[in-house]
Amino acid sequence: MAARMEADVCIRTKRDSREYTGQEITDEALQRILQAGRMAGSSKNTQPWHFIVLRDAARKAELAECGDFAKHVPAAPLVIAVVLTPGGGAFDAGRTAQNMMLAAWAEGITSCPVAMHHAEDARRVLGLPPDHRAAIVLSFGYPVSEESLHRGVARNPLAGIVHHERW
């Protein structure tokens, strides 16, 4: 098992990346990522999600056509679609997705969330029931370089975005 990061370091250093090495992600790492997603909180503990794991190149390429900004998806060694059941909200999907992305980063695996702009196409590609939807697709892989993690863009300083009591 790979060394794990402290939670605060993991949160502070995690960045999205669309560039990955060809290194495969182990089944053990996949299980830890999925477990982190399963453990996310949800509204009224409804747990309104299912996860579809994609490793097949053709299937990833087909799914990439369902998002306007998903050209990087086929190059990712691992893709997970977060599927919401009826009544599931975007906030719940975001919570489970962030858990999975942080769990991956704790192992040195970077990720990128992707919107499925063509929802009906994504439903068809993933074989979803009519009342389910692909809320977020997550691509995972080992980062090519440090630069691929942040593209040189600094985070906004805390002092510039925090307000107390009112704007």
Q: What average pLDDT does the segment 133-156 reach?
A: 80
What confidence score (pLDDT) does residue 72 get? 94
Assigned token pair, 123: 């439903």
Interval 46-102: pLDDT, tens: 999 999 999 999 999 999 999 999 999 999 999 999 999 999 999 999 999 999 999
pLDDT confidence of residue 146: 65
CATH numbers and ranges of domains, the chain = 17-144 (3.40.109.10)
pLDDT of residue 74: 96
Rounded CA Rg of the chain: 16
Cβ-based neighbours of 144, under 8 Å, separated by 6 or more: 17, 19, 20, 21
* Distance (Å, whole) CA 81 – CA 51: 6
Question: How much is the pLDDT for 31?
Answer: 98
Cα–Cα distance for residue pair 162/2, rounded to 1 Å: 36
Mean pLDDT across 12-18: 81
DSSP structure string for 80-118 = EEEEEPTT--HHHHHHHHHHHHHHHHTTT-EEEEE--SS
* Model pLDDT, residue 68: 95
DSSP 158: G
- Give this prediction's pTM: 0.89
